[in-house]
Amino acid sequence: MAIKILDVGQCHMDGPRMAALWRKTMNATVDRCDTAREALERAGQTAYDLVLVNRILDADGSSGLDLIRDLIASGSSAPVMLVSNYSDAQDAAVALGAVRGFGKNALNDPKTPELVKHAAAGHSKSN
């Protein structure tokens, strides 16, 4: 079974680059959206194995941490992971209930796809 990822708030350069990496390294299917509202709707309608959230949503500059809070409060069963190079933002996301994520500067690190795969695969096994 393919891993299904929802990627939220990446710019039009990083989003496709990340989606290609997940497809190549773990045969994942990746849905992308730009806004918190759309992410909450999709997470409520589709069973994702992982939701990746940019620290600052590119389309409107809104807070990825606020979205993480809202996703977790909505009862979504998918793990949520922050995409940020800032350790304080990662700490804040984890405090909200997210899985510790990664920064875009780590996309070329072979450990990054493994981190994403581990978070998503842990969820898909429990479904």
Please count the structural domains in the chain.
1
Q: What is the CATH number of the domain that holds 92?
A: 3.40.50.2300
Over residues 51-76, the pLDDT tens digits come to 999 999 999 999 999 999 999 999 98
Over residues 33-47, the pLDDT tens digits come to 999 999 999 999 999
**In this structure, what are the phi and psi dihedrals at residue 44, rounded to the nearest 5 degrees?**
-80, -20
For 22-124, list the strands marked E by DSSP: 29-33, 50-54, 80-83, 99-102
The domain of 12 spans 4-126
User: Among 11, 119, 70, which Cα is nearest to 19's?
Assistant: 11
